[in-house]
Amino acid sequence: MHFNTPLTLDLALAPNHLYYGDCLEVMQHWPDESVDTVYGDPPFNSKATYSILWGDDAGKQKAQLDAFTDMWTWGAEAEQRLRHLTRYKHPALRAIRAVPERSGMAAYLIYMAERLTEMKRILKPTGAIYLHCDETAGYHLKVLMDTIFGPENFQCGIVWHRTGGSAKGNQYAPRRFGRSTDYILFYSMPKQRFNGIYVPDPDVAERYPKVDDNGRRFALTPLWRGRSMGPRPSLCYEWRGYTNPYPSGWRVTKEHLEQLYQQGRVYFSAKGTPYRIRYMDEDRGILLDNVWTDISPLGGRSKERLGYPTQKPLALLERIVKASSNEGELILDPFCGCGTTMEAGLKLGRQVVGIDVSMFALDLINTVRFAGKYPALPIKGIPTDFESAERLAQTNPFQFEKWAVWQTGMMPNVRQTGDSGVDGQGVLVAAPEEGYTALTLAQVKGGKPRSYVADVERFCYTLIERNAACGVFITLRPIGKRSSVHATAGRLGTITIGNTTYPRLQFWSIQEFYAHGTRPHLPPLVDPYKDRTAQTLLDL
């Protein structure tokens, strides 16, 4: 099902690339049956805002960036998506209609239905998909995936015990059992190849009680099928004078049995009964089931932690990648965040593709996660010249705003409305001498050239109200030199840091950026990547 999203940038599928944008819009430009394995860790509809804090090593001058808001409400966008699904008589409508009409959950399920449909289309017949969720919407997502992938292709629901010690909610006076698990819905295509995962058996020594002359522990297993297994005429044969006295026959073919004998793997008991020798050092362990308790979540002091909300342990993604893919195959994470799936795939010799709506996340992958380990992955979906920037502003203004803010060194806001004209913010390394805070703000206007008098006046008011050190007003094209907004900005004055003076409000355009390479004249900003005290917070 395609919604004919206009192609604004190069979004063709390319292994070992990252993509900036909505995964629905990106995947719609990929060919059918082109991906081997999908792991998705989408928003959970948890009614929470996930944020990142950063500051200096002393914990001062900290600022918060909203990474994304996992909160869904019914609105015009959900209404439009519902019309699309209804027009195509999408089978997911059955699952969506099972929740209250025009509710936040319905909006969330419609959002997921569109994207899961594309994921199924691009999966190879041998492929598999893992969808990470929790109990907030997990049960609804199970029904939704049944309608899209088919209940016959549901392999299992993996339960990951994601907390250690006391489960969340057990402290003080609990009203319920603690919530300490995530769920990973595992579906496969009809011809999937599953590798299986084996984990060490803690009781393995007890299962191999014998020791040979070389000190190798071993155990004996029957070569004859038990009488209760029933007759197997094809396995009833004489071998070196031995025959199973029952019609159930041998456990292996005669050729295989002779090979075992030549390898010294056949043992004869005192009564002359043949047994197979199995060595402990060749034991693969226990085939892993669907309850995973051996992978701990990332603690606050974990070396893996990058300061990104909802980050998952590398071991978790390595296990999934190993189970349902082989070297050289293509792994997709359509909500890749800080890139745990990308690292797991590259580490295991796979090709990877990641999509995210956050430039912060994609830059974090290349700048921090891959630093010293892997070459940076090219990013598609971002403007490469003024024309592509203009197209992005026209077709996806919110993505344009975030991208434009990122070019200043500030961090884009996740909120798309009710942001008081603030589209991004940053923290200066040092506060100005004039007594303002170290906060710097950005506002973006990507529409057609017009008078920005009212917009600039409101932005000035926000700078004053928040006592911000400075701000940048970003436009697609330069503001005319005769515009009165220059005088408005001049009335805010300047700030001084060290021996350098900066305008408190300045104007900067994307056209100037591509024509002359100019960027805003800002004081040094705090780098969230290099601040190891950065903490991820969940604002409940």
The CATH code of the domain that includes 513 is: 3.40.1350
Distance CA(143)–CA(151), nearest Å, equals: 9
What pLDDT score does 169 carry? 56
Say if CB 349 and CB 329 are below 8 A apart.
no
Residue 100 lies inside a defined structural domain of this protein: yes
Between strands 266-268 and 274-279, the pairing is: antiparallel
| CA distances from residue 523 to 12, 24, 191, 499 in whole angstroms, order as listed | 38, 38, 57, 11
Distance CA(416)–CA(201), nearest Å, equals: 51
Domain of residue 138: give its range: 17-197+288-380
Task: Assess whether 166 and 204 both reside in one domain.
Answer: no
Nearest to 40 by CA among 340, 349, 377, 306: 340
Structure tokens at 183: 């769920």
What pLDDT score does 174 carry? 67
| Coil, helix or strand at residue 144 | helix
Choose the final residue of a domain: 282, 297, 325.
282
Is 166's pLDDT higher than 80? Answer: no
Task: Assess whether 462 and 508 both reside in one domain.
Answer: yes
Three-class DSSP labels, 241-305? CECCCCCCCECCCHHHHHHHHHCCCEEECCCCCEEEEEEHHHCCCEECCCEECCCCCCCCCCCCC
Residues 6+ apart with CB under 8 A from 391: 8, 9, 383
Residue 9 lies inside a defined structural domain of this protein: no
Choose the final residue of a domain: 354, 380, 406.
380
Distance CA(281)–CA(218), nearest Å, equals: 8
Residues 6+ apart with CB under 8 A from 412: 358, 359, 360, 401, 402, 403, 405, 406, 423, 424
How many domains are there within the chain? 3
Task: Assess whether 173 and 33 both reside in one domain.
Answer: yes
Task: Assess whether 254 and 312 both reside in one domain.
Answer: no
Give the up-direction half-sphere exposure of residue 231: CA atoms within 13 A in the CB hemisphere. 2
Residue 509 lies inside a defined structural domain of this protein: yes
Give the mean pLDDT of 361-366: 90
Task: Assess whether 363 and 434 both reside in one domain.
Answer: no
What pLDDT score does 48 carry? 47
Residue 410 lies inside a defined structural domain of this protein: yes
What pLDDT score does 21 carry? 87
Is 361's pLDDT higher than 90? Answer: no
What pLDDT score does 384 carry? 86
Task: Assess whether 404 and 339 both reside in one domain.
Answer: no
Q: Kindly report, residue by residue over 38-75, the tens digit of the pLDDT.
A: 999 987 644 444 444 443 333 333 334 444 444 577 88
Lowest mean pLDDT among 71-75, 146-150, 490-494, 496-500: 71-75
Task: Assess whether 298 and 274 both reside in one domain.
Answer: no
Lowest mean pLDDT among 36-45, 339-348, 413-422, 460-469: 413-422
Q: Kindly report, residue by residue over 407-431, the tens digit of the pLDDT.
A: 998 888 765 544 567 999 989 999 9
Task: Assess whether 165 and 233 both reside in one domain.
Answer: no
Say if CB 29 and CB 7 are below 8 A apart.
yes
Lowest mean pLDDT among 61-75, 121-135, 291-305, 388-402: 61-75
What pLDDT score does 538 carry? 25
Is 14's pLDDT higher than 70? Answer: yes
Task: Assess whether 193 and 210 both reside in one domain.
Answer: no
Residues 6+ apart with CB under 8 A from 39: 129, 130, 132, 317, 320, 321, 331, 332, 333, 341
pTM of the full structure: 0.79
Choose the final residue of a domain: 350, 380, 410.
380
Task: Assess whether 56 and 107 both reside in one domain.
Answer: yes
Residue 40 lies inside a defined structural domain of this protein: yes
Task: Assess whether 204 and 190 both reside in one domain.
Answer: no
Check which CATH number belongs to the domain holding 57 and give it.
3.40.50.150
What pLDDT score does 67 carry? 43
What pLDDT score does 267 carry? 93
Residue 352 lies inside a defined structural domain of this protein: yes
Q: Kindly report, residue by residue over 155-165, the tens digit of the pLDDT.
A: 999 999 987 54
Between strands 424-427 and 500-503, the pairing is: unpaired
What pLDDT score does 411 carry? 83
Within 10 angstroms of residue 275's Cβ, the number of other Cβ atoms is 16
- Sign for the CA dihedral angle at 236, 239, 243, 244 comes to negative
Rounded to the nearest integer, the mean pLDDT of the chain is 86
Q: Kindly report, residue by residue over 210-236, the tens digit of the pLDDT.
A: 999 899 999 999 999 999 999 999 999
Residue 7 lies inside a defined structural domain of this protein: no
Residue 254 lies inside a defined structural domain of this protein: yes
What pLDDT score does 56 carry? 38
Task: Assess whether 167 and 208 both reside in one domain.
Answer: no
| Coil, helix or strand at residue 322 | helix
Distance CA(411)–CA(361), nearest Å, equals: 11
